[in-house]
Amino acid sequence: MATYAIGDVQGCYDELQALLARIGFNRAHDRLWFVGDLVNRGPKSLEVLRFVKELGDRAVVVLGNHDLHLLTQYEGFERKRADDTFDDVLGAPDARELVDWVRTWPMMHVEGNFAMVHAGLLPQWTIEKSLVLAHEVEQALRAGNYRDFLADMYGSKPARWDDSLRGWDRLRVIVNAMTRIRFCTSEGTMEFRSRGTAPPPGYFSWYETRTAAEPAIVFGHWSQLGLKLTERITALDTGCVWGGALSALRLEDRWLVQVPSPGYQPIGE
Ligand SMILES: [Mn+2]
């Protein structure tokens, strides 16, 4: 019995199947943790969703920004982007069933010595507090008025967390931190324009302040950062969709397996 954490799949179904073959995944004994962004930019989002859904409780997936983008597109909010590649999902006969399932994914998953989130956490949030905040968003996505939340979810303001935030503003900051963050200040002000690994002046990589005393944070979202395994963090987005690789890490003993990808998007976009 083993637990494998898998990086951003983004519709790379063939690479996912090759990876599972390489690790000898046995669904009777093993579990898969996905860091989110199962869909978009790659060629086979529909196959990925159907496959992971069928795994039932053998798979845990946290919501990524592309998964949330799929929800808003299905519900008719926000502009379609030219590089979206999940029309196969939107046009599928089981589209409703699939997006309703995506809407039930957690924002964060904590188990044993690991905490998984798509992008990251703010410096002033402990793991325990983050989990409570994650539940606030999960409840909003499951509530009867979830469409109101999705319609108001986007935007980069407020850029800074404050315990006194309420309503959609509060949930928007939680979503932005957990699904989009790369750089922030020590006060928790987020910056979303920089895409590389060099923080803008006054900012630092969000994980710099995490301590080894808490569960190691498993995340994806940051393909430029690539694979990074330390006591405190497990970064698994190795840019499969960009021609990098899809990565799996067995959490029990840190056995790493990677499957190279031909790439499905021109690098630099
Ligand atoms: Mn992402």
Q: What confidence tens digit (pLDDT) does each residue in 247-265 have?
A: 999 999 999 999 999 999 8
Instruction: State which residues of the chain have pLDDT below 70.
Output: 267-269
Give the Å distance between the CA of 65 and the centre of ligand 1. Answer: 5
Give the Å distance between the CA of 167 and the centre of ligand 1. Answer: 24
H-helix or E-strand spanning residue 89: helix 87-90
Q: What pLDDT score does 267 carry? A: 65
CA distances from 11 to 6, 28, 253 (A): 13, 24, 28
Question: What is the CATH number assigned to the segment(s) 3-260?
Answer: 3.60.21.10
Q: What pLDDT score does 269 carry? A: 43
Give the Å distance between the CA of 149 and the centre of ligand 1. Answer: 20
Give the Å distance between the CA of 30 and the centre of ligand 1. Answer: 25
Angle at 174 between CA 128 and CA 49, to 5 degrees: 95
* Residues 142 and 154 sit within 8 Å (Cβ to Cβ): no
Give the Å distance between the CA of 179 and the centre of ligand 1. Answer: 6
H-helix or E-strand spanning residue 70: helix 65-75
Q: Where are the domains of the chain?
A: 3-260
Give the Å distance between the CA of 11 and the centre of ligand 1. Answer: 13
3-state percent breakdown (helix, strand, coil) of the chain, nearest 5 = 35, 20, 50
Give the Å distance between the CA of 241 and the centre of ligand 1. Answer: 12
d(CA 110, CA 128): 9
Q: What is the DSSP code (8-state) at residue 116?
A: E
